[in-house]
Amino acid sequence: MHVMNSRELHLISDGNMALETFAKIAGAVHEWVSAVHIREKKRTVKEICLGVDHLLSRGVPLEKIYINDRVDVAWTLGVKGVHLAGHSLEPDQVKGAFPRLRVGRSVHSVAEAVRMQRQGADYLVFGHIFASQSKPGLKPRGLAELAQVAQSVTIPVMAIGGVTPEKVESVVNAGASGIAVLSGILQAGDPQEAAKRYAQALFGEEERNAKTI
């Protein structure tokens, strides 16, 4: 299991919310999160770039911003990292061409996790762990599968999908180094309070401000 100060809280855009609105929330909560992802499959490159501008204008530092899939945008704008999916370039391709970027990858099995670590991924996101409104009708993978994935690699594994503050301890105990959150913060009545609750559950009382990874 990874030590406390290596834990991470990732906030991910939901693909539906206006990026200006997402940036407003991210600006209010970034003190408690480690990474802010722009994950927008339907938006143009120009819209994604504008989304980064919105984040910066709200005080979110470049070193906390990640772009999903679009390696070219991430490199050009100088953000911290890029997060890859199954349809994206492979981690070793990205690492070879863009060595400065921190590279994450979504995985769905032990074999995929091992392969992505071998290809140089810096961290993994695995899920969905619990029932999630973003994955209706799909059976969650659960804590046992999370534990198998976490034990199969040495790089950090982030749990995603239905992870509430109350469930943070269980995913950490299963071996996760952190969590990735969408609606748990974005759809909360008070996003800032929700982020604080996640951070407290993940980092503990003595570490209320999230580490910048």
What residues are labeled active site?
Answer: 128
C-alpha span between 147 and 165 (Å, rounded) = 19
Which residues sit opposite 124 in a β-bridge? Answer: 105, 157
CA separation (Å) from 46 to 40, 58, 160? Answer: 12, 19, 28
The full length of the chain comes to 213
Long-range contacts of 103-110 (CB under 8 A, 24+ apart): 104/66, 104/158, 107/149, 108/141, 109/149, 110/148, 110/149, 110/152
Please give the full DSSP string across 163-186, using - where no structure is assigned.
Answer: --GGGHHHHHHTT-SEEEESHHHH
Q: Report residue 32 as tokens.
A: 């408690």
Residue carrying the six token digits 């071998």? 118
Write phi, then psi, for 56 (nearest 5 degrees): -65, -40
E strand or H helix at 10:
strand 8-12
